[in-house]
Amino acid sequence: MRHVEELPAAFNRYRKIGGVLDFAVFEGTKGTDEEVLKAIPHALQRSKHFNQNKLRSLGYRRIKERKFFGEWYDFDSRQLLKRGSWRTAGGTELQDPTLKVLDQYKIVSGAAPCPEIGLGGQFAYAFSSPPYNLHDRPGKVQELFDAITDFILPPSLQSDIRDWSSPQMLEVSDYFAAGMGWWGVFLFSIHIPAIERLTIIAGSTTD
């Protein structure tokens, strides 16, 4: 199992515009539990401790892509959503618009829900809705999302998506302390058997 240090440019761009998810990618993997548990700490670089045995005991859920992307994503059109009710500078009311639609508006007010902490899925939310807005046009955020998801979930290739998140993640690592307040905690592993690639995705932050 080899740690991939140099990821596609979209990952670095995502971080520069304020993205809060952490990624770790490995090649030459079979996707076993032991490999995944060994790989996870590489995505938790800001942590002081990681309890592998606790995470092993909590286990994971195998999920499909629709569950992985979650409610901040229109699965049929493959578009990110800005969940909630929003008013534009021109007075237009928008309900759950796609990010590409938002390119033509300036939002002046609105309110959005947050998913329940540790209940799984919601990658699209974690990617596109950090506590402070991403510093790019909504359409550009969609383009980054497409580039990154095409890398971690190559089209037409079978995937094994595991959701390791739970309301007890603070017992696993202090990495998850910030997100337990309100924003959320996220931990996924994605294995692509055909190319033996394993991606770990972690997220936890606050304002």
pLDDT of 26-52, one tens digit each?
999 999 999 999 999 999 988 899 999
The whole-angstrom separation of Cα 68 and Cα 132 is 22
The whole-angstrom separation of Cα 109 and Cα 159 is 39
Q: Is the pTM of this model over 0.75?
A: yes
What's 78's DSSP letter? T
Mean per-residue pLDDT of the chain: 95
The whole-angstrom separation of Cα 66 and Cα 49 is 32
Class of domain 2-69+119-204: alpha beta
End-to-end CA distance of the chain: 36
Domain residue ranges of the chain, discontinuous segments joined by +: 2-69+119-204
C-alpha distances in Å from residue 184, one per residue of 125, 140, 175: 10, 24, 12
